[in-house]
Chains A and B, each alone.
Chain A
Amino acid sequence: MAETTAPEPTRRDFLYIATGGVAAVGAALAAWPFIDQMNPSSAVLALSSIEADISSIQLGQQVVFNWRGHPLFVRRRTPQEIAQSKAVPLSALLDPVARNANLPDSAQATDADRVINPEWIIVVGVCTHLGCTPTVSTPQVPQGEYGGWLCHCHGSQYDVAGRVRHGPAPQNLAVPPYKFLSPTKIKVG
């Protein structure tokens, strides 16, 4: 049996590999600033919260605020809409996760876990498919079949709790971190 014997590694081999290794790590470290410079700057991060006065919003009406460059939907739901949303079983949902930044990741997408005060549904108005702004549905001008929102770009539909009911969107509309400062004032972010 022919046996191939590698020559014994020398001190010089070790130095080659060690030098090359240090150079590779150095190159990776030097590359990081050039990659990270593209991430949001501290100035952008500092603009991350807003306060909004919601006292003038009527029952059944939606007002759009601008939060972090995204539309923020603040919609005051009618009692019928709340009842209709509560009656939806979890099994009927495409995405059973609450996607509510105020709750643990494991929270389920029940109507109660999508809101803080059931009269107010507050979601980021960015379709979870490819980022368009969905159009609000009203009894006068219905959009889609679920009474919530319809995204015209690719046809996704959401119910009055902002939960996706018809694809291609994979997730419920995101509920941002927010709290009520008073019954008519919210702080988002």
Chain B
Amino acid sequence: MSGPSTYVPKSGFGRWMDSRLPLMRFAHDTIITYPTPKNLNFWYAFGAILAFMLGIQILTGIVLAMHYVANAGLAFDSVEGIMRNINYGWLIRYMHANGATFFFIAVYIHMFRGLYYGSYKSPREVIWILGVILYLLMVATAFFGYVLPWGQMSFWGATVITNFFSALDQIVPHLGSAISTWLWGGFAVGDATLNRFFSLHYLLPFVIAGVVGLHIWALHVPGNNNPLGIDTKGPQDMLPFHPYYTVKDSFYVALFALVYLAFVFYAPNFFGNPDNYTPANPVVTPPDIVPEWYLLPYYAMLRSVPQKLIGVLVMAGSLLTLAFIPWLDTSKVRSTRFRPMMKQFFWFFVIDCAILGYCGSQSADAVLNLGSFALPLVWVARICTLYYFGFFWVVMPLLGIIEKPKPLPANISQPVLSAAE
């Protein structure tokens, strides 16, 4: 799709460099002339928004690491020192903490967009799988980062998550506990754990940046999908990436940054948990442990199963399932626009994830009062978990067979032209 390079070096130095390391040619072909379908809408701006957020996180993170102390006795105070003493420390820390939240908001929209327009289907399976890997790396990075302030939620979140591995004891005795001890570097989450999590938290964003490179490389081979989900037919369907999409993406990045910074300045602790402003205490568990909002749906699935090993497997399975989507969806039509049944199941799925998130945010024994009828939330979570898996493993394969899609337009210009007539 990228086609032959049209880069022409303009200066003598440019020609000299081009025959030795064609870096400018690569940048030119990737950012300037890359042919992009002309019908991409707002939802396609989230790739650029994600790149922007990754940049913000790395920049603010490097600065925070200059002032943070990864030691169980000093970490909490060093974070408070950043907030109170370091020049603009409050701003940089709030940008980083809220940056994680908005990074996840953007990635969820990006994922749902890919799901809606069938961007994972042939020939784009590898882009999707790299995306799933990126998402898992983001989850790991966010988890390690949340431990660093060494508050109560940091400590107990780390305890609960590292204990997931102890479920393996039910398959091979002592294996799981040995893994947990190995992760901790002690008999419990402690100083050794904090230090290694800091090391990994600093490392993983650069791994993410590397996989982003692969993700974009894999994207530029077949080219972008588009809201109609039909193949582009030639140059008449395309626009050069610059200036058309550089400008469009920049506009939405600015809009997104506006909302993000509104939280940084006016509600910096909106997404945080007040318990994390209490220093970690290894002998007192807070009454309600909740993960950060972006992991709540998975937490609800974990808690909906009353058996430890199966609960952990359900949670791991819910993440792993994402990697199989390209082969679970049997429909030849990419875009949900032309799939009347899929459209309904898709929006149910979005609502399902939101309800799971709500269930995860409530305490384990919460009850939903519907007038005279009391519904334990754990049952709501069970039904939603069933739909989560059902959507991917039953609905997706079956719909491709039984659904009658609407007729596809002949090319990506047709819907616009026929509307104008």
Contact = CB atoms under 8 A, between A and B. Distances in A.
Contacts of B285: 132-133, 152-153
Which interface class (under 10, 10 to 19, 20 to 34, 35 or more) fits A?
Answer: 20 to 34
Contact of A38 (B182, B187, B306): B182
B288 interface: yes
A152 B156 CA distance: 12
Nearest to B170: A170
A154 interface: yes
A168 B186 contact: no
B185 interface: yes
Given A38-B185, A39-B185, A152-B288, A69 B282 contact: yes
Interface stretch (B77-85, B158-166, B243-251): B158-166
A189 B303 CA distance: 33
Contacts of A40: 181, 184-187, 192
B188 A132 contact: no
A169 B364 contact: no
B289 A170 contact: no
Contact of B282 (A44, A70, A128): A70
A167 B160 contact: no
Interface stretch (B6-14, B307-315, B413-421): B307-315
B172 interface: no
Nearest to A170: B308
Contact of A154 (B162, B181, B283, B364): B364
B203 to A, nearest CB: 14
B160 A69 contact: no
A142 interface: no
Nearest to B289: A153
B170 to A, nearest CB: 6
Contacts of A128: 308
Contact of A130 (B164, B306, B307): B164
A90 interface: no
Interface of A: 35, 38-41, 44, 48, 64, 66, 68-71, 125-126, 128-133, 152-155, 167-170
Interface of B: 156, 159-160, 162-164, 166, 169-170, 181-190, 192, 196, 282-285, 287-289, 302-303, 305-309, 311, 363-365
24 contacts: A38-B185, A38-B196, A39-B181, A40-B184, A40-B187, A44-B187, A69-B186, A70-B282, A70-B283, A71-B282, A71-B283, A130-B159, A130-B308, A132-B285, A152-B285, A152-B287, A153-B285, A154-B364, A167-B308, A168-B303, A170-B170, A170-B307, A170-B308, A170-B309
Given A68-B186, A152-B285, A167-B306, 16 more contacts: A40-B187, A44-B185, A44-B187, A44-B192, A70-B282, A70-B283, A125-B283, A130-B164, A132-B160, A133-B284, A152-B289, A154-B302, A155-B303, A167-B308, A168-B306, A170-B170
